[in-house]
Amino acid sequence: MEELQRQKQTLFNKALFFLQFRARSEHEMREYLQKKAVEYNFNSDIVEVVITQLIEKKFLSDKDFAEALIHSRSSLNLKGDFAIAQELRKKGVNQNIIDAGLQENTVSEYERALEILSKKKDLLNKLAPEKRKQKVFGHLQRRGFSYDISKRAYEACFGNTQTEYDA
């Protein structure tokens, strides 16, 4: 019994160390602790006990993790909703939590796209209209913005100049 308690405490400390650098999803933490359990030849059942303990003590929450990542990608490292959702899915967050978090986001996807373009506007204005539109759409879509958002942001920033890319 004492050995199991020691193993549990060791994994709990490893989890706290892992959380020290940034918030984690339950999935990320579970994978990390499972690797540590194998590394130290611990009973793998302890991982779930530690995960439960972390959740109860509010060190781990997929909802809080998703909100923090959405906030970060909406105000610092600007990304579109598609890219944010994809990143959260990759980290094992439930789709319902992702949808709710994106819906509650206070910075609209359109505003984020406009902010990205405003930073590049001087550089983009030097390009021919066709080349500018191609660059803008490519840049925004690589950052996870939809075609519709990209088109609205382009038109707001550069006017509605007709090119062969218009649908």
Residue type, 21: F
Nearest to 13 by CA among 38, 28, 41, 32: 32
Structure tokens that stand for 80 in this block: 């579109």
* Mean pLDDT confidence for 125-138: 95
pLDDT level of residue 166 (50, 70, 90 thresholds) = very low
Distance between CA atoms of residues 8 and 133, nearest Å: 56
* Mean pLDDT confidence for 33-47: 94
Contact 29, 21 (CB under 8 A): no
Is a pLDDT exceeding 60 seen at residue 161?
no
Q: What is the pTM of this model?
A: 0.88
pLDDT of residue 16: 97
Is a pLDDT exceeding 50 seen at residue 32?
yes
pLDDT level of residue 1 (50, 70, 90 thresholds) = confident
pLDDT of residue 167: 43
Instruction: Kindly state the percentage of the chain with pLDDT values over 70.
Output: 95
pLDDT in tens, 62-120: 999 999 999 999 999 999 999 999 999 999 999 999 999 999 999 999 999 999 999 99
pLDDT level of residue 61 (50, 70, 90 thresholds) = very high
Is a pLDDT exceeding 70 seen at residue 41?
yes
Distance between CA atoms of residues 138 and 90, nearest Å: 23
Question: Do you know the residue count of the chain?
Answer: 167
Give, in degrees to the nearest 5, the angle at Cα 107 between 105 and 111: 145
Nearest to 149 by CA among 95, 94, 112: 112
pLDDT of residue 164: 44
Contact 153, 114 (CB under 8 A): yes
Structure tokens that stand for 112 in this block: 């984020």
Q: Which residues of 23-43 are buried (b: 16+ CB within 10 A; e: fewer)?
A: bbbbbbbbebbbebbeeeebe
DSSP track, 105-116: -SS-HHHHHHHH
pLDDT in tens, 12-28: 999 999 999 999 999 99
Contact 37, 46 (CB under 8 A): yes
